[in-house]
Chain A
Amino acid sequence: MSRAPSPPISGDLPRDFSSREALEQLLADAFPQAEGPLSPIRGGREAADDQLARVQPGRYAKSRNHLDGAVTGLSPYIRHGVLTLAQVRNAVFQRIRKRDDGAKLINELGWRDFWQRMWLDLGDGIHDDQEDFKTGHDSGAYVRELPADVRDGTTGLACMDGFRDQLVSTGWLHNHARMWMAAWLVHWRRVHWKAGADWFLEHLLDGDPASNHLSWQWVASTFSHKPYFFNRSNLERYSEGRYCDGCPSAAQCPFEGSYEQLENQLFAPMPSIRDKGNDRNRRDRRANNRQQSKGGGNAALARPKR
């Protein structure tokens, strides 16, 4: 590109910084209400290209549900158009020898495209419950404020406090950690998904309201036909035990138990859950009425398995 930035005038923000600390100081001065330090994850196309060069589609397919799996870390760059989905798609095509090697990663790029299309369709409706909860609890039963111990990372649960610390200090979380944290907040702590979703957007560098809010709703069951939840063995397995070993709450872990036990503990009887299948009401914001429609129950296809 041959263009140069316009000659600066009063009120233009600076473009030259002697160091990252200087940028941080500028941000502290210009946006005093914006809290916390910079992320170790750098912005810019150069950093994005470095990250893209490390993508391994085959390993991604095999290990993506593990916290230390070969996930791409591209979401912050894709969300802000530093890399387009089309560019990432082409990079995957160039790197694979056969279609199978890239199928899972291309599918996951499809999810990003799907969420964006949903956002165009729903607009600001992504902030509202898309459907009723399938948990046996009314929407009003969920607390609307994020509890202080969650915000501060002082719950005593090594996993959840660890996810909170990573979220707040880096602005990035593995998708599985996002789902565990969402499920814990909504189903164990009975916090409304919107409080958690908004909190995530304060911090996530990828901060994409569509995929964030609709994924929270998928976990909560207001955008799926059943709630997503997990148990200790699932978390322990996909985190390689890094939190459970030495957790101060290990003896009274709230996630301990079979899925059946936890289901009975967390959800009120709601016989219609299983009868409903994928049929449910979905808000049609344009017509402002409710219509029967088949909704996103198969979101589980792209989500970590329990």
Chain B
Amino acid sequence: MNLQRPILWVHEEALGPANPALRAWPEASALFVFDTLWIQQQRISRKRLGFLYENALELPLTLRKGEVASEVIAFAQRHDADGVVTSTAVDPRLQRIANAIEAELPLQELEPDAFVELPRPPRLGRFSRYWREAEPVVWEGYSAAG
């Protein structure tokens, strides 16, 4: 995907400077949206919102509240953007929002830094199995550094 002037959608899983969209597009305008429906339905307390807000304030983001996909699309129009760049989300709610954005605009999702890169998907269902495969690979980084 060859976007020329995207806006960035920053979501709750990547509110730090390591956000791959922020790193890849240092000049692009970026948005964080408080998801009012989620806040209401899940009875999210003010301290959680304050924590999100303080995280967001340390990044060069425009902050809004409302229906997230609509807000992101409106922000793209505000900046005459040709698409949206974001970081890949794990939360299915965020994935659904990404799908709603993508129905309207080109969307590029960038992978955040992995904790461990495994040659093939590990066996899940039990931590010990996953860890048997992951632990040696994690510690390769220590040998290389030390």
Binding site for B on A (CB under 8 A): 1-6, 8-9, 11-15, 23-24, 27-28, 30-31, 33-39, 41-48, 76-77, 79-87, 89-90, 93-94, 99, 102, 106-107, 109-114, 116-121, 123-124, 168, 170-171, 198, 201-205, 207, 209-210, 278, 282, 293-299, 301-302
A-B contact pairs, 16 of them (CB 8 A): A2-B27, A3-B30, A5-B62, A15-B57, A30-B34, A34-B39, A34-B44, A35-B43, A36-B45, A43-B53, A43-B56, A84-B112, A86-B113, A110-B138, A111-B127, A121-B124
Contact between A37 and B92 (Cβ–Cβ < 8 Å)?
A: no
Q: Which residues of A contact B52 (CB under 8 A)?
A: 43, 80
> How distant is the Cα of A241 from the Cα of B55 in the complex, in angstroms?
36
**What's the Cα separation between A162 and B100 when bound, in Å?**
42
Given A43-B51, A107-B131: A124 in contact with B92 (beta carbons within 8 A) = yes
Interface residues of B (CB under 8 A from A): 12-19, 22, 26-30, 34, 36, 39-40, 42-58, 60-66, 75, 78-79, 87, 90-92, 112-116, 122, 124-131, 134-135, 138-139, 141-142, 145-146
B57: shortest Cβ distance to chain A, in Å?
6
Complex-state Cα separation, A6 to B139, whole angstroms: 42
**Contact partner of B79 among A6, A34, A86, A90, CB < 8 A?**
A6
Contacts A3-B26, A81-B13, A171-B45 known; A118 to B60 CB distance under 8 Å? no
Chain A contact residues: helix, strand, loop or mixed: helix
B127 near A302 with CB under 8 A, answer yes
Q: Which residue of the partner chain, among A99, A110, A168, A293, contacts B131 with CB atoms under 8 Å?
A: A110
Please, which residue of chain A has its CB at the minimum distance from the CB of B63?
A13
Q: Which residue of A lies closest to B36 (CB)?
A: A31
The reply to whether A81 and B90 contact each other, CB–CB distance below 8 Å, is: no
Contact among B16, B122, B145 with A45 in the assembled complex (CB-CB below 8 Å)? B16
Contact B63 A82 (CB under 8 A): no
CB contacts (< 8 Å) of B127 on chain A: these are 110-111, 114, 296, 298-299, 301-302
CB neighbours (8 Å) of B51 from chain A are: 39, 41-43, 76, 80, 171, 205
Contact A205 B130 (CB under 8 A): no
Q: Which residue of A is nearest B12, CB measured?
A: A80
Q: Name A37's contact: one of B47, B78, B145 (CB within 8 Å).
A: B47
Q: Which of A13, A81, A85, A99 contacts B115 (CB 8 A)?
A: A85
Q: Find chain B residues with CB under 8 A from A302 CB.
A: 127
Q: A201 vs B38: C-alpha distance in the bound complex, in angstroms?
A: 12
Contact between chains at B63 and A15 (CB < 8 Å): yes
Known: A82-B16, A207-B48. 10 other contacts (CB 8 A): A1-B17, A3-B30, A23-B53, A36-B45, A45-B55, A80-B14, A90-B145, A110-B138, A114-B127, A295-B126
- B9 → A minimal CB distance (Å): 13
Known pairs A80-B16, A93-B141, A207-B48; A201 contacts B42 (CB<8 A): yes
